[in-house]
Amino acid sequence: MLIKSIMKSEISHNIKHRKIANDDFYTPPELARKLFELVPTKTGDSILDNAFGTGNFYFKGDKTTDFYSITKQYDWLITNPPYSHLDKWLEHSCKIARKGFAYLLTIHNLTPRRIEMCENYGFFITKIHLCKVFKWYGISAFIIWEKDKTPILEYNRIVWK
């Protein structure tokens, strides 16, 4: 009985599943600060918030709203990226990140195909932090990819029948 009361949400079903007026899902500032602290940046690292919106992930370094125009390399890319073109986003990230990138994604966006693509560029997942934001759909994952590090995941791309 105690477990059920701990696990039960205090938010009514209607509130949890309300419709959002637009497609903008900004990261709460407190969560962005917590996630930024998980990234193994070092003093002097160059950092880019490559999906600058409200500035919640912008703590130091550079920012841009036009990521694909960026050709300069950065040590770290840290943000909540747009999901509508995530494959292209990840590929461009692999081309300009020197040490790694850390992105807040919905958990279903972490697919073996995307993991393999990043690994082919030498970037491996070294940390996953799961979190839940009230108005977002499902569980989110803050995923840290690092260049030439030991991966924490095993996967395959077999479609089982």
- pTM exceeds cut of 0.85: no
Predicted pLDDT of residue 25: 67
The label of the residue with tokens 């600058």 reads 52
**Residue type for 44, please?**
G
pLDDT on residue 57? 82
The residues spanned by each domain of the chain are 27-39+46-147
CB–CB of 76/48 below 8 Å? yes
Q: What is the pLDDT of residue 60?
A: 83
Mean pLDDT for back-to-back runs of 10 residues, the chain (161 residues): 41 42 70 95 96 86 95 96 93 98 94 97 98 86 97 90 90
The DSSP code sequence of 58-106 is -SSSEE-S-GGG--S-EEEEEE---STTHHHHHHHHHHHEEEEEEEEEE
| CATH of the domain spanning 27-39+46-147 | 3.40.50.150
